[in-house]
Amino acid sequence: MAPRKSTKTPNVSAEELTAFYRDMLLIRRFEEKAGQLYGMGLIGGFCHLYIGQEAVVVGLEAAAKEGDKRVTSYRDHGHMLACGMDPKGVMAELTGREGGYSKGKGGSMHMFSKEKHFYGGHGIVAAQVPLGAGLAFSDKYKGNDNVTFAYFGDGAANQGQVYEAYNMAEIWNLPVIFVIENNQYAMGTSTKRSTHSPSYWERGAAYGIKGEEVDGMDVLAVKAAGQKAVETCRAGKGPYILEIKTYRYRGHSMSDPAKYRTREEVQKMRDERDPIENVRSLLLTGKHASEEDLKAIDKEIKEIVNESAEFAKTSPEPALEELWTDIYAQAGEA
């Protein structure tokens, strides 16, 4: 059967819209569950939730193809789920168990998947940006048409290494998309207080890099911008900068007292701009899905998330001997 076309969104099929809903909901419910497990003391260390920002990664993954790479910061669970990593392995890593992606030794900020081309999970602000340029360099060197998505925040965007990476990426024409997830805050610091030039993507002009600002609460806008950036990079005309305007609903991490913004500000964003509600309403008003269809998806997601939590609680802790493994990589292994 030919895909039904949405009336409001001519370039997207009902199937794709439904997939966006499902993928964003998986991230949201997974993160809510992680928040609960953290509250129960089952997750230790830091835990940075992605709730509110789901459309960024889901929209960009819709523009990616097999072989493309991604690297990001510590706010990384959404990126892992969106590129197809197993929720069980991600949740079990959060609880520090053997079944986790880093065998329980990395935790929330340090997970990787060779299979899904996910290169972390990095706790040092902005350190992933030059790494992303390096990943793109390896693809250019090998002569394939893969691109790398290097995600970082508005706070990270003020770091010097970002601009060194920009310069080299442009000189070498690297197929890297620098994705600035501008959620308006770096821990408790508003972008209004941290820079006098709040249009981060425009800084690329100093290095000759193209870019644009994107509405990060609209998954369709993110996908469209992602496609343009990807095409530019695949055609050998990269790099590219996407500044995606988004918002995190939860604190910076689970231990954030959130005194730097009002409850009303957060509530307004949730009520008026929520990316999942936006797609839900497109599906319903366009008659691409019924309430029952969406309920069935909600149920399916709930089951996947509960299963991941169960696995994360029951998978054993890593054996003591694991302290001595995975410290050095064999040459040529990467």
Q: Applying CB under 6 A, which of residues 24, 156, 241, 276 lies at the interface with ligand TPP?
A: 156
How far apart are the C-alpha atoms of 83 and 60, rounded to whole Å? 10
Taking the complex as a whole, how short is the minimal distance between the CB of residue 52 and ligand TPP, in angstroms?
Answer: 11
Residue 212 dihedral angles phi and psi, to the nearest 5°: -165, 165
Taking the complex as a whole, how short is the minimal distance between the CB of residue 78 and ligand TPP, in angstroms?
Answer: 11
93 close to 106: Cβ distance less than 8 angstroms: yes
How far apart are the C-alpha atoms of 187 and 206, rounded to whole Å? 27
Residue with tokens 């959404």, as numbered in its chain: 78
Q: Applying CB under 6 A, which of residues 183, 246, 278, 315 lies at the interface with ligand TPP?
A: 183
Residue 262, token pair as written in the block: 């009002």
β-partners of residue 151 are 179
Taking the complex as a whole, how short is the minimal distance between the CB of residue 16 and Mg ion, in angstroms?
Answer: 28
Question: If contact means CB under 5 to 8 A according to the sort of partner, which of Mg ion, ligand TPP, none does residue 280 touch?
Answer: none
Taking the complex as a whole, how short is the minimal distance between the CB of residue 108 and ligand TPP, in angstroms?
Answer: 12
How far apart are the C-alpha atoms of 266 and 231, rounded to whole Å? 35
How far apart are the C-alpha atoms of 220 and 206, rounded to whole Å? 29
Taking the complex as a whole, how short is the minimal distance between the CB of residue 327 and ligand TPP, in angstroms?
Answer: 22
- Nearer to Mg ion by C-beta: 153 or 238? 153
Burial of 320 (0-12, 13-18, 19+ CB in 10 A): exposed
45 binds ligand TPP (CB under 6 A): no
188 close to 260: Cβ distance less than 8 angstroms: yes
- Nearer to Mg ion by C-beta: 154 or 274? 154
153 binds ligand TPP (CB under 6 A): yes
Residue 265, token pair as written in the block: 């500000």
251 binds Mg ion (CB under 5 A): no
Phi-psi region of 39 (alpha: psi -120 to 50; beta: other; left: phi over 0): alpha
Q: Under rule CB under 5 A, which residues in 139-168 are in contact with Mg ion?
A: 153-154
Residue 303 DSSP SS3: helix
C-alpha closest to that of 127 among 83, 79, 74, 168: 74
Q: Applying CB under 5 A, which of residues 183, 246, 308, 315 lies at the interface with Mg ion?
A: 183
Taking the complex as a whole, how short is the minimal distance between the CB of residue 290 and ligand TPP, in angstroms?
Answer: 36
- Nearer to ligand TPP by C-beta: 238 or 251? 251
- Nearer to ligand TPP by C-beta: 50 or 311? 50
Q: Which stretch binds Mg ion (CB under 5 A): 183-191, 252-260, 263-271, 321-329?
A: 183-191
Chain residues in the site for ligand TPP (CB under 6 A): 73, 75, 123-125, 153-156, 183, 185-187, 252
Chain residues in the site for Mg ion (CB under 5 A): 153-154, 183, 186
